Amino acid sequence: MSNLKKAERVAFIQEELQRLYPEPPIPLHHKDAYTLLVAVLLSAQCTDERVNKVTPALWELADNPYTMAEVPVEEIKAIIRPCGLSPQKSKAISQLSKILITEHQGEVPADIDALERLPGVGHKTASVVMSQAFGVPAFPVDTHIHRLAQRWGLTSGKNVAQTEKDLKRLFAKEYWNSLHLQIIYYGREYCSARGCDGTTCHICKTCYPDRKRPKKTQKA
């Protein structure tokens, strides 16, 4: 059995992910675009699991920009401390809440450029919000996706921007939002950084049956 060609890999990966995760749930608990935006911001260098433990107390304090803008940064910081980077994240949450009020009538804009201009919101966070809050096709690339795309030969993996471009070219736009989540779930469950080296999980073995050595991947 030889390694699959790229088009065959793409088709197999999509089919397998759809079989395993036909309706992938959004991992971060939220109730609207604003709470999703804050939750995604908190998830930087932090697990979704930990964010989901922290946000109920934060929403109790403030679950909309108007209330959040009134909360002292120190109070926000005290609640979100377990998520790490709390000095920067608490300032960003406070500032972006004020900007949403002054520039966007208290609403989260369904516009990737406007989102990226908000404090603490990078391209990945903005893409997640566009995809999960507004249903706009986006392909946010996190560390799981960056690693798996390299293991599966879908990108050279020079950086996350290149990985995003490559994935968008390979998969039809209408599948981007679900694929983003499916790859994350697969990466956590079957193809984690330590749990698979590019030679052990079902997708890696099917795509590259000839691969004998671990696949080295570049970090995001």
Residue 210 designated active-site: no
Measured CA to CA, the distance from residue 124 to residue 45 in angstroms comes to: 12
Active-site residue identified among 48, 63, 111, 142 = 142
What pLDDT is recorded for position 157?
A: 83
Give residue for tokens 């709390």: 86
Residue 124 designated active-site: yes
Give the domain ranges of the chain: 6-24+139-207, 33-134
Q: What is the pLDDT of residues 103-137, one digit of tens each?
A: 999 999 999 999 999 999 999 999 999 999 999 99
Helix 73-80 / helix 86-104 crossing angle, nearest 10 deg: 130
CATH of domain 33-134: 1.10.340.30
Long-range Cβ contact pairs of 206-214 (< 8 A, separation 24 or more): 206/4, 206/12, 206/16, 207/3, 207/4, 207/9, 207/12, 207/13, 207/152, 207/153, 208/3, 208/4, 208/153, 209/1, 209/2, 209/3, 210/1, 210/2, 210/3, 211/3
What pLDDT is recorded for position 119?
A: 98
Closest of 146, 195, 210 to residue 5, by C-alpha: 210
Measured CA to CA, the distance from residue 124 to residue 44 in angstroms comes to: 10
* Average confidence (pLDDT) per 10 residues, the chain, 220 residues: 92 98 97 98 96 98 98 98 98 98 98 98 97 97 94 93 97 98 97 95 97 91
Burial zone of 161 (CB within 10 Å; 0-12 exposed, 13-18 middle, 19+ buried): exposed
Q: What is the pLDDT of residues 142-151, one digit of tens each?
A: 988 999 999 9
What pLDDT is recorded for position 27?
A: 96
Q: For residue 158, give the 3-state DSSP assignment.
A: coil
Measured CA to CA, the distance from residue 14 to residue 183 in angstroms comes to: 9
What pLDDT is recorded for position 220?
A: 76
Q: Which amino acid is at 42?
A: L
CATH topology of domain 6-24+139-207: Endonuclease Iii, domain 2 (1.10.1670)
What pLDDT is recorded for position 159?
A: 93
What global pTM score does this model have? 0.94
Closest of 210, 187, 213 to residue 198, by C-alpha: 213
- Do the beta carbons of residue 99 and residue 93 sit within 8 Å? no
